[in-house]
Amino acid sequence: MDFELKTLNSKGPQGGRADAVIMPVPEGWQAGGDAVSGLAAQAHGHGDLPTKPGKVLQMYRPEGPGPRRMVFVGAGQGTAREVRQAVAAALSAIKSPDMRVLALHLGGLKDVGEAVVRATMLAVSDVSYTYTATKSRPQPRALRAVEIWVPDPTALRNGVARAAALVGGMELAREWANRPGNHATPRMLAKAAKDLAGSNGISCEVLDEKAIRRLGMGSFLAVAQGSAQPPRFIILKYKGAAASQAPVVLVGKGITFDTGGISIKPAPEMDEMKFDMGGAASVLGVFAALAKARPAVNVVGLIPTCENMPDGLAVKPGDVVTSMSGQTIEILNTDAEGRLILCDALTYASRFKPAAVVDIATLTGACVIALGAVRSGLFSPDDALAGALAAAGESALDPCWRMPLDDDYAEGLKTNFADVANVAGRAGGSVTAAKFLQRFATGYPWAHLDIAGTAWKSGAAKGATGRPVALLFEYLCSLEAQPSVKAQPRRSAGRAR
């Protein structure tokens, strides 16, 4: 799907090639001099023009040449969030299998900046995305081009290009998270990562089971041992800045299917556990966006990926394993497996001497109870990093909420039989999970994003959302304006850490 900026003139999209035109109309709107604005003025004069967010007025084959359909949609105060909601509502109302070209008329908005334009592009992507990978008679998205009509495109070109890169990254993340477990195995996920390599500064290395064992990742391997599918450890690198600039490391949980292991999950809705690699999918999506946008930052992506299955070799409740850091872990619940693969990846991350490390995981149902599907959970002991991620989420319309990390929450992780237990009971489950990870995230600024409530939707709208690719991409792009951080000399991140 291509996005193209157009200069709004007297004819505007009415004289273009679009099959449909969408025009968001904010409160206090004043008509412009183009043909579409003229139609809007007529509707406004009769009291029929909506300005309440999401309210739609449709026209079919208005007089004169131009698109078959025209939709005016209320946009409230014209904020980026309201415009995104408006465009999504309008496109849902006119979605048809034969619409090839869509025009977005943004001339009625008071502030047509990069944030608003990006919001419209994300809305179009979200509504028009179609999953086809495992259908025998796929019907791919018909929409091929989106024209964005604005009074002055000059200042928006870079923003549109970056937003188009983000759209591509989010759709890649949605694609891989949506695939069922037998079409998204650890080896398949590794191939998807390799396919990104070679494009604009991206390289990829994939470690097999033997290499993972040599690193001493006993916690990661314990989760993988119950599956016939071999684990993989994926290392992606994006070099957009000088080698002296320390990278940001993104760590994505890649459980390609989660049965819960011996602590098996209930059968209803277990199919949704194909989404348990949403963190890994988001890392792939971010790297796809980086390859197109080329921001001046260095980024490393780490994806530990495996299945969590309950066969005769599977790890058992009460088993004790040794992590890459040398810490021993009593596995009280095999369904708390995400933290077991992430902890070894967090230890491995230290070898890059990172400026910051952010792990992303569909980690706990407790976070869904706490925050629902609106905000991702943000955990970090570092105020500056937490603030930057929260600000990026607000700007990208991909919000998160900072949760506590008091040391008292770690009391429940104590055990008589190992250095730490992998669970601490139901109370404060998302926080105790983060406290577990914090033990392994030492020597660098660290944050944890729990996306269990935001990475996918259930019910009739079941499917991946592509979150938090927008948050992460916005955060990484914001680092371009900051002074570069020199990388420190590398030291081994082995057992004696």
Residues contacting 267, CB < 8 A, separation 6+: none
Of the listed ranges 94-98, 186-190, 225-229, 273-277, the least confidently predicted one is 94-98
For residue 327, the Cα-to-chain-centroid distance in whole angstroms is: 31
Nearest to 149 by CA among 267, 274, 12: 12
Confidence at residue 483, expressed as pLDDT on a 0 to 100 scale:
61
Residue 143 pLDDT more than 90? yes
Residue 485, Cβ neighbours under 10 Å: how many? Answer: 18
> Rounded mean pLDDT of 424-442?
96
Confidence at residue 10, expressed as pLDDT on a 0 to 100 scale:
74
Average pLDDT, the chain: 93
Q: Which domains does the chain have, with CATH numbers?
A: 2-152 (3.40.220.10), 167-481 (3.40.630.10)
Confidence at residue 15, expressed as pLDDT on a 0 to 100 scale:
64
Q: Is the peptide bond before 468 cis (omega within 30 degrees of 0)?
A: yes
CA separation for the pair 182, 168 (Å, rounded): 24
Residue 391 pLDDT more than 50? yes
Secondary structure letter of residue 201 according to DSSP = S
Confidence at residue 484, expressed as pLDDT on a 0 to 100 scale:
57
> Rounded mean pLDDT of 43-48?
84
Secondary structure letter of residue 486 according to DSSP = B
Confidence at residue 485, expressed as pLDDT on a 0 to 100 scale:
52
Of the listed ranges 28-32, 238-242, 437-441, the least confidently predicted one is 28-32
> How does pLDDT run across 441-462, given as a tens digit for each residue?
999 999 999 999 999 999 999 9
Total-model pTM: 0.94
Burial class (CB in 10 A: 0-12, 13-18, 19+), 328: middle
Of the listed ranges 25-39, 130-144, 436-450, the least confidently predicted one is 25-39
Confidence at residue 251, expressed as pLDDT on a 0 to 100 scale:
98
Angle at which helix 278-293 crosses helix 186-196, to 10 degrees, equals: 10
Residue 265 annotated to the active site:
yes
Please report which confidence band the pLDDT of residue 226 belongs to, taking 50, 70 and 90 as the band edges: very high
Give percent of the chain with pLDDT exceeding 90.
Answer: 82
Confidence at residue 11, expressed as pLDDT on a 0 to 100 scale:
76
Residue 488 pLDDT more than 80? no
CA separation for the pair 165, 203 (Å, rounded): 18
Please report which confidence band the pLDDT of residue 67 belongs to, taking 50, 70 and 90 as the band edges: confident
> Rounded mean pLDDT of 209-213?
98
Catalytic residue among 55, 187, 213, 265: 265
> Rounded mean pLDDT of 13-17?
74
Residue 494 pLDDT more than 80? no
Confidence at residue 235, expressed as pLDDT on a 0 to 100 scale:
98
Pick the more confident residue, 447 or 29. 447
Confidence at residue 493, expressed as pLDDT on a 0 to 100 scale:
37
Confidence at residue 17, expressed as pLDDT on a 0 to 100 scale:
85
Confidence at residue 13, expressed as pLDDT on a 0 to 100 scale:
82
User: Which amino acid type is present at position 98?
Assistant: D
Catalytic residue among 162, 339, 353, 375: 339
Residue 33 pLDDT more than 90? no
> Rounded mean pLDDT of 246-263?
98
Confidence at residue 496, expressed as pLDDT on a 0 to 100 scale:
33
Confidence at residue 461, expressed as pLDDT on a 0 to 100 scale:
92
> Rounded mean pLDDT of 75-95?
94
> How does pLDDT run across 372-381, given as a tens digit for each residue?
999 999 999 9
Residue 339 annotated to the active site:
yes
Confidence at residue 497, expressed as pLDDT on a 0 to 100 scale:
29
Residues contacting 338, CB < 8 A, separation 6+: 253, 255, 258, 276, 361, 362, 363
Confidence at residue 64, expressed as pLDDT on a 0 to 100 scale:
60
Residue 489 pLDDT more than 50? no
Confidence at residue 75, expressed as pLDDT on a 0 to 100 scale:
94
The first and second tokens of residue 73, run together, are: 């949609």
> Rounded mean pLDDT of 381-392?
98
CA separation for the pair 412, 363 (Å, rounded): 18
Residue 138 pLDDT more than 50? yes
Confidence at residue 490, expressed as pLDDT on a 0 to 100 scale:
40
Spatial contact of 217 and 268, defined as CB atoms under 8 Å apart? no
Sign of CA dihedral 446, 447, 450, 454: negative
Of the listed ranges 120-124, 181-185, 364-368, 490-494, the least confidently predicted one is 490-494
Residue 486 pLDDT more than 80? no
Name all contacts of 394-397 with Cβ < 8 Å and 24+ positions apart: 395/115, 395/474, 396/470, 396/471, 396/473, 396/474, 397/80, 397/81, 397/84, 397/119, 397/122, 397/470
> Rounded mean pLDDT of 270-295?
97
Sign of CA dihedral 277, 283, 288, 293: positive
